[in-house]
Amino acid sequence: MRAGDWGEARRAVERIESWRRIPAPLMWMAEVRYRADGLESALPLLTELAWLSPGRLAGLLHRLADASVDTLRRKFDANFEGAGQTADLAWFPAWVLIEKPGLAPLLRDAQPSRQTAPERATRLLLQILSLERRGNQHELVDRRKALRELHAGLYAAYMRTR
């Protein structure tokens, strides 16, 4: 990675068994994908890293210094109703879906993790966005209620956009 050989770095990480479930190699692969293929390729891995290790995500986002992600991060830090700690970044993918719903197809590719509340909220928002497009009001009401129960502040942010 230090040499910028993204192909070799990718192969090295892929040789680590269960690399997607271990914070350090997941972070490495997210950076490799970002550097080699761009932000869109890295977003599912950044999402998984947020759920698995918000602290490592914070460090990686700082290193990447991506203008669009940095803008979202500043808005998140200013507006998200959390504890004001790095651990809040676990909610970043769900919040990003509210701010930039067009990213849903990319975040949908994130693999299941530990089923934490932030991951469940992200998955709920993906369902909600899909239900809104289809106009399925009954299921939409149920999913919104579930989102409110997971995180009232995130639900309020979502409803402000509706």
Reported as a single tens digit per residue, the pLDDT across 103-134 is: 999 999 999 999 999 999 999 999 999 999 99
- Predicted confidence (pLDDT) per residue in 51-99, tens digit: 999 999 999 999 999 999 999 999 999 999 999 999 999 999 999 999 9
Q: Tell me whether residue 54 is in a domain.
A: yes
Instruction: Tell me the average pLDDT of the chain.
Output: 96
What residue spans of 3-111 are helical by DSSP H?
Answer: 6-14, 23-37, 39-52, 54-64, 67-79, 92-99, 104-107
Alpha-carbon gap, residue 79 to 62, rounded angstroms: 19
Give the domain range for residue 149.
Answer: 6-160
What's the domain count of the chain? 1
Q: Tell me whether residue 87 is in a domain.
A: yes
Q: Tell me whether residue 1 is in a domain.
A: no
Q: Tell me whether residue 71 is in a domain.
A: yes
Q: What angle do CA 77, 140, 130 make, to 5 degrees?
A: 75
Alpha-carbon gap, residue 45 to 50, rounded angstroms: 9
Task: Output the pTM of the full model.
Answer: 0.95
Q: Tell me whether residue 111 is in a domain.
A: yes
Which two three-digit tokens encode residue 45? 């891995």
Do the Cβ atoms of 93 and 51 come closer than 8 Å? yes
Do the Cβ atoms of 124 and 97 come closer than 8 Å? no
**pLDDT of 136:** 83
